[in-house]
Amino acid sequence: MKSKKHLNFGSLRAELSLLFNHLPDNRQASKTNYSLHDCLMSGFACMYFQEPSLLQFQKELREKHNRDNLQTLFGVKDIPKYSQMGDSIDEVNSEEISPIFGNYFSRLQRGKYLLLHYQLFPELYLCSIDGTQYFSSENIKCSNCLTTKYSEGTISYSHKVMQAAIMHPGVRQVIPLMPEEIRNTDGNDKQDCEINAAKRLIPKIRKAHPQLGIIINGDSLLSKQPFIKNVLSAKMHYILVAKPGDHTYMMEWIDAYEPDEINRKSFTDKKKRIHEYEWVNDVPLNGGEDSINTNFFRYKIIAKLRNEGD
Ligand SMILES: [Zn+2]
């Protein structure tokens, strides 16, 4: 597939440069020799090349070949020293970077790229959300760290986000949206958690994409009434995993159906495996008086053991 000009690397990099060049610079002038742009763009390059260590990446940049690459490909004028690179990146509020997600997304909408490659059902796109951890330490911490206490007395400090991405089962690349940080705030004793971050994320996705038809996809942690209500009030659909142990009331309700009251379809594939689809509409999610009703779908794959029936 020929890459469109507004989607090629140079054009996307230039847009990122523009954003980095206009970020408010809160660093103390006396302590910085490198532009914020060069620090952030070097950090981005490190991610782009999937180099696991920023320090190692910076060391390799001292070699001429790599230096040239960073200058021509990423528009970095002066290669920042490791310590200044890290400190400068830390000073930037991640919310300041968020416009780039919207910018890249509208580029994908231009020329119908998104529609042609990612539309799952007419005017509907699948948006998966899940928690991911990007920092963990037993020694280094800040006031926003999430803390986990272990029985042997150790405490680990971590940073996590809820990440949303538009995806399609037939396409390898996913389109990340702006993540929502799972972080503790000063003066709040209660820890932040994935489900709360997910609840904050939904209206933000809707605000960033007011017209987009969205199906939210997530794990069993999210298939609870408050989150589903949140998704529905943002006028989104949902496909969430329901673990039987987390949904005993709903499962008992479904088990009480007569076999012929459950919709069922199945087919046998070339390997003689049976794929069975079952679904029922309008079942109560829980035993609460105000329980919402939902649709339930179950898929089973039944493989015959070798030699069976011989
Ligand atoms: Zn921290």
**CA 2 – ligand 1 centroid, Å:** 43
> pLDDT by residue (tens digit) across 60-78?
877 877 788 888 889 999 8
Alpha helices in 22-130 (DSSP H): 36-48, 54-60, 64-74, 82-90, 99-109, 113-118
**CA 147 – ligand 1 centroid, Å:** 9
DSSP one-letter code for 262: S
Contact 89, 39 (CB under 8 A): yes
Q: Which residue has the tokens 């479904």?
A: 254
Cα–Cα distance, 8 to 263 (Å, whole number): 47
> pLDDT by residue (tens digit) across 179-235?
999 998 876 778 999 999 999 999 999 999 999 999 999 999 999 999 999 999 999
**CA 202 – ligand 1 centroid, Å:** 24
**CA 110 – ligand 1 centroid, Å:** 38
Closest CA to 20 of 100, 79, 90: 100
Q: pTM (2 decimals)?
A: 0.88
Question: How far does CA 197 lie from the centroid of its chain?
Answer: 12
**CA 141 – ligand 1 centroid, Å:** 5
Q: Say what angle helices 9-21 and 64-74 make with each other, to 10 degrees.
A: 80
> pLDDT by residue (tens digit) across 257-284?
999 999 999 999 999 999 999 999 999 9
**CA 146 – ligand 1 centroid, Å:** 7
Sheet containing 274-284: order of strands: 263-268, 274-284, 293-302
Give me the CATH topology for the region 117-239: Nucleotidyltransferase; domain 5 (3.30.420)
> pLDDT by residue (tens digit) across 112-128?
999 999 999 999 999 99
